[in-house]
Structure 1
Amino acid sequence: MSSVKLGDDYVRVPKLDVGGSNWVLYKERLTWAADAKGLVGHLDGTSAEPVAPPSSAGTNTTAPVGGTATVATAPIGVTPDPGTVPDPAHAAYQLELAGWKKGEAIVKQLIASTIPDSLFMKVRAKGTAHAIW
């Protein structure tokens, strides 16, 4: 049973045998590795994708010099005009979403790097780490 070294903290997870003969050890060690990284919620599904706030349609507030703030909108992914202030709820959501996506990517890679290629080909299109798991 070979192992894969992952990350700077040298978490070792055995590769899943093609026949699944080491499934019990693999499952426990992968779960422990994800837990050590603070990402076990991505495996068990308790870490859900953050929900966008109602104002997350790209709403920004613009405050003219000496005036009252007005609301300006920009599509998601489009940089707003200079002088606009991002909606705090939307900014917090974007940070939370980025953190969640990073956790998903780490756990997906943890799984992908320790399963046989034949199994990877079957699970690669699944949307979340929990769905893959």
Structure 2
Amino acid sequence: MSDTKTRYSVPKLISNGSNWVVYKDKFLAVSGAKVLTRFIDGTVRKPPRPIPFTCVNLHIPPSTTTPAGGASPPPMTDMYSHLDDDMYFKFAETVDKNYDAWVQKEADARALLYESIPDDVYINVRSQPTTAEA
């Protein structure tokens, strides 16, 4: 049985940059084939994480009580207060899945970059927060 997963390779960038043109073209082609281009060029946006359900005052519907003296209190609410618990958990699950997918793709892009650059270049880019910034 043949392997249905195509394997791509990027040549190692030479420290003096003498193979830059070939390296860049192949790196961009492989990152495109692996659907990582937006992680490389910085156009992908990191999805937001929802507020954890365990936070104080999370997911509290707006207050309907009025304190003594007649002044209305500021509503105790959050941006998810219009959702019931089941809807909130479904929403949070979707957001978490999107975030997890972003983390995985970012790691894939970073691995592709790291395996194709020399150690002296790696040392200079490893602390960058995203692949695009490396």
Q: 1:119 aligns with which of 118, 121, 129?
A: 121
The secondary structure found in structure 2 opposite 1:31 is helix
| Matched residue SS, 2:17 | coil
Correspondence 1:27 to 2:61: no
Identity of aligned residues (%): 28
TM-score for both structures, normalised by structure 2: 0.69
Correspondence 1:90 to 2:86? no
Q: CA deviation at 1:28?
A: 1.2
Runs of 4+ in 1 over 2 A off after TM superposition: none
Q: Identify the match of residue 48 of structure 1 among 45, 48, 52.
A: 45
SS in 1 for 2:117: coil
Looking at secondary structure, tell me which structure has more strand per residue.
1
Aligned to 1:131: 133
Out of 35, 39, 51, which is 1:38 matched to?
35
Q: Which runs of 5+ in 1 are unaligned?
A: 1-7, 61-70, 73-83
Superposition TM-score, scaled by structure 1 size: 0.69
How many residue pairs get aligned? The number is: 101
SS of the equivalent of 2:51 reads: coil
| 1:104 alignment partner AA | E
Which position in structure 2 is the counterpart of 1:100? 102
User: Which entry has the higher C-alpha Rg, 1 or 2?
Assistant: 2
SS of equivalent to 2:10: strand
CA distance in structure 1 between the partners assigned to 2:52 and 2:128 by the alignment: 28
In the aligned structure 2, how far is the partner of 1:57 from the partner of 1:100?
18
Question: Does 1 or 2 have the higher relative contact order (CA < 8 Å, sep 6+)?
Answer: 2
Note if 1:57 corresponds to 2:54: no
Q: Which ranges in structure 2 are unaligned for 5 or more consecutive residues?
A: 61-84
Q: Deviation digits for residues 79-113 of structure 1, max 9, x if unmatched?
A: xxxxx856222111100011011001011010100
Query: Of 12, 16, 22, which residue of structure 2 is paired with 1:15?
Result: 12
- How much has 1:51 moved relative to structure 2? 2.1
What SS is found at the alignment partner of 1:97? helix
- In the alignment, what sits opposite 2:80? none
